[in-house]
Amino acid sequence: MRTPVSWIREYADLPADLSSDDLARRLTALGLKLEALERPGAEVRGPLVVGRVLTMEPEKQKNGKTINWCTVDVGDANGTGEPQGIVCGAHNFAPGDLVVVVLPGGVLPGPHGSDAVEISARKTYGHVSAGMICSAHELRIGEDQSGIIVLPPDAGRPGDDARPVLGLEEEVIEFEINPDRSYALSLRGVAREAAMAFDATYTDPCLRDVPPANDEGYPVRVEDPVGCPVFVARTVTGFDPSAPTPEWLARRVRLAGMRPISLAVDVTNYVMLETGRPIHGYDGDKLQGSIVVRRATAGERLTTLDGTDRALSPEDLVVCDDSGVIGLGGVMGGETTEMSDATSTVVIEAAHWDPVAMFRTGKRHRLTSEAGKRNERGVDPTICEVAAERVAELLTTYGGGSVSPGVTVVGTPPAPEPIRISARLPEQVAGFPIPTADTERCLRAVGATIQRDADGDPGDSLTVTPPPWRPDLTDPYDLVEEVVRIVGYDKVPSLVPLPPVGRGLTREQRLRRRIGRTLASLGCVEVVSFPFVGEDTFDALGLPDDDVLRHTVRLSNPLSAERPLYTTTLIPGILDAAARNLGRGAPGVSLFETGTVAFPADRGPAPVYGVDWRPTEAELEKLFEAIPVQPLYLAAVLSGEREPAGWWGGGRAADWSDAIDLVRQLGRELGLEVEVRQASRMPWHPSRCAEVLVDGEEFGHAGELHPRVCQAYGVPRGTAALEVDLDFLMNRAVDVPRAPTYSHQPLAKEDVALVVEDGVTAADVEEALRSGAGELLESVRLFDVYTGPQVGDGKKSLAFALRFRAPDRTLTEAETGAAGGAAVAAAAAAVGAVQR
């Protein structure tokens, strides 16, 4: 809301020496937040004068543009009194118009972000152009670039300083208005707050006598009094459509951020800014028969003032006449009854509309308008007559004609509901003493009336009736906010509350930290990616068409049409990050990410309950069931150099085993033995992919990525990755390990080399050795794999270090040898191993 300070001062008798900065600061502390304090045109220096266009000759240029060679009367401002010759590129004016001219020597603010421009007489398009005719944009007093400023005829005389005419000496405070403070979308409301802030006298612009309603007014029938509780109509006849907008009114409308258009339009906008009540004007000659307010019927259409043809919904409130729908009530009028430059009869509508209906219609038709913005937040329902009267008065004052005696008033304004509040509630909520007298003073200051309860303790219970312009005040706590903000939020003391003893972090929260630290300790850097993917993401991962990961939650309004899905895997995001790092010159990268993925619940829509009471347990159950399943996953990608070459020797690239090792290490951290099995699953290399299991249950995959996937993501072949279900791991994690016991007896070593078929896995051989070695076995470690002529085609030799130890004695060679032999025998039996 842009508010010229002089306009605020018209209603609030503020101290003369109060600066606009202080005013804005104080209002910010009250809840009207300072967005910007503008001094429009403050950067304009030098001669800026009113000029009258004497002649204009359009000249077509070679570049296809047409410029106007003008002579402009600038009085004595140029020192000669002779007309000034100026080239102008705009066309929205005619000889005789008053315009704004900056003469040579003047300085205009440059385009945003650039230096100021000094104006001098210069040769252009074959003329010497001595100055410039200005647009609002060039003076930085508005956004309008479509043409130059044409001043009202009474704005001044040629040669006058244009600054006061344009309001360049005015300061404008722009406030950010919260949705509950709709009253502050008017000068009436802002000035009331300002007066309250400085204890100044306030003059309500809506306190004005209005003629009583009668039967002579324009006929109106409201068929939906819930949607439209009040409808006031007044008529002005004999209006001169060519009458110009008075300069002061145009200036205020302009300073408030709206564009002056014509007297009739400017007046309705002005009254809306002044009172907060949106007004609609109809061309009375185009209206056919009675005005009717009702809900639209299916199939009805309307072309609104913005030129859009709209299909109406049976929920839309519409204004009709005999011709059909002529407006979307409270939101936007229709084209057929629009006021034009020939309108001489104006029917003024000032109506109160149901905010919910306004909100829904605005949303449905994607229509935002100054009127809609106010109507959907709630406007004072009691000022319809006053606003209509004010419009009629301004129209006839400046446009001639007369106000018809007929006054149509349909309906009565809904009365605000009184609120009972304990006088102690404000201090109980605020946490510092607020005497009842202060509470009453604050509530009266915002316009409420207060009644002490006759029966109760006179100091305790108050019945407060909010003013009609405060539809937001419905609950005791709303009143508390009013009291505390006026007493001052800065009065609230600072006191740390003392909760009962807490239980600290949950098991899962502690485990998540452990997991993150473990991955970091293994050299991985955590990343955070967006969870949005597209179908082509799954194609790049090589997932089959029926893959479970393709069954996703889809967004109806994604930011990017290419990525409308909530991801079911963390690998794409982390692969993108890996590719980005490598592309930026990193020799290698080890990344991890933990995050939730989502799988549709497929349990039907989530219910939407009311807001006045707690849903039942069964209802909550139904709600929770409908929410997608969102397990916590961990993914890691290892790509390029894992260990660099250096003076110590050669380096090595990350490979499939690094990914599997990360899972094993993580399992060990959580007290779990991870089993690894050969598997085949996209996006992994079909022969270099492991599924990882705990207690026989699979919880993810690790290994080398498929070469096609590496290519699709632009990472080197051999890139390794893993993705596991962390919820699974955390469920099984060992919280407090048992303290281990260990023997102090000497260690006995036995190394064996076993030849097996290629297809036999190391894990199978190891398992057989373990089963055969007996209780004395302490550990088995594979320390070499050999393939080559010495073992023959299709075979490999696996060398294992077996370590034995007894709890109570030194083992003899014979004991160790026997145990080793038994282990080898078991391997021979289980996987056909032959000792070399």
Partner 1 sequence: MSGPNSEYDPVEVTPLQAEQVAAMREEALAAIAAAQDLDQLKRARLEHAGDRSPLALANREIGALPPQARKEAGQRVGQARGAVNAALAERTAVLEAEAEEGMLVEETVDVTLPTGRRGRGSRHPITLMSDYIADLFVAMGWEVAEGPVLEAEWLNFDALNLGPDHPARTMQDTFWTEPADDHLVLRTHTSPVQARTMLERTPPIYVICPGRVFRTDEYDATHSPMFHQVEGLVIDEGITMAHLKGTLDHFAEQMFGTGITTRFRPSYFPFTEPSAEVDLVCFVCRGEAGAVEECRTCKGEGWIEWGGCGVVNPRVLAACGIDSERYRGFAFGMGIDRSLMFRTGAEDLRALFEGDVRFSSGFGTEW
DSSP conformational letter for 52: E
Phi/psi at 69 (5° precision): -90, 115
Write the single-letter amino acid at 214: N
CB of 179 to partner 1, least distance (A): 5
Contact (Cβ atoms closer than 8 angstroms) between residue 691 and residue 602: no
Which three-class secondary structure state does DSSP give residue 194? helix
CB of 308 to partner 1, least distance (A): 20
Helices (H), 691-761: 707-713, 726-732
CB of 637 to partner 1, least distance (A): 10
**Joined tokens for residue 304:** 């609104």
CB of 598 to partner 1, least distance (A): 5
| Smaller CB separation from partner 1, 255 or 653 | 653
CB of 708 to partner 1, least distance (A): 23
CB of 456 to partner 1, least distance (A): 17
Contact (Cβ atoms closer than 8 angstroms) between residue 275 and residue 302: no
Contact (Cβ atoms closer than 8 angstroms) between residue 403 and residue 441: no
**Joined tokens for residue 410:** 């349909």
Residue 302 has a CB neighbour count (10 Å cut-off) of: 25
CB of 623 to partner 1, least distance (A): 5
CA–centroid distance for 363 within its chain: 16
| Smaller CB separation from partner 1, 702 or 765 | 702
Task: Specify the DSSP element, H or E, that contains 746.
Answer: none
**Joined tokens for residue 634:** 């961990």
Phi/psi at 518 (5° precision): -65, -50
CB of 651 to partner 1, least distance (A): 8
Task: Specify the DSSP element, H or E, that contains 69.
Answer: strand 66-73
| Smaller CB separation from partner 1, 483 or 826 | 483
Helices (H), 296-364: 355-364
Q: Closest Cα to residue 672, out of 693, 651, 645?
A: 693
**Joined tokens for residue 251:** 């200036």
DSSP for 586-610? -SEEEEEEEEE--B---S-PPP---
| Smaller CB separation from partner 1, 107 or 623 | 623
| Smaller CB separation from partner 1, 181 or 688 | 181
| Smaller CB separation from partner 1, 18 or 37 | 37
| Smaller CB separation from partner 1, 489 or 783 | 489
CB of 748 to partner 1, least distance (A): 34
CB of 512 to partner 1, least distance (A): 9
CB of 449 to partner 1, least distance (A): 21
| Smaller CB separation from partner 1, 409 or 430 | 430
DSSP for 716-735? -TT-EEEEEEHHHHHHH--S
The 3-state secondary structure of 160-183 reads CEHHHHHCCCCCEEEEECCCCCHH
| Smaller CB separation from partner 1, 454 or 548 | 548
| Smaller CB separation from partner 1, 58 or 497 | 497
| Smaller CB separation from partner 1, 182 or 268 | 182
Q: Per DSSP, what are the bridge partners of residue 725? A: 633
| Smaller CB separation from partner 1, 432 or 783 | 432
Q: Per DSSP, what are the bridge partners of residue 101? A: 49, 133
Residue 527 has a CB neighbour count (10 Å cut-off) of: 22
Write the single-letter amino acid at 322: D
Q: Per DSSP, what are the bridge partners of residue 420? A: 463
Please give the Cα distance from 333 to 327 (Å, whole number).
4
CB of 424 to partner 1, least distance (A): 12
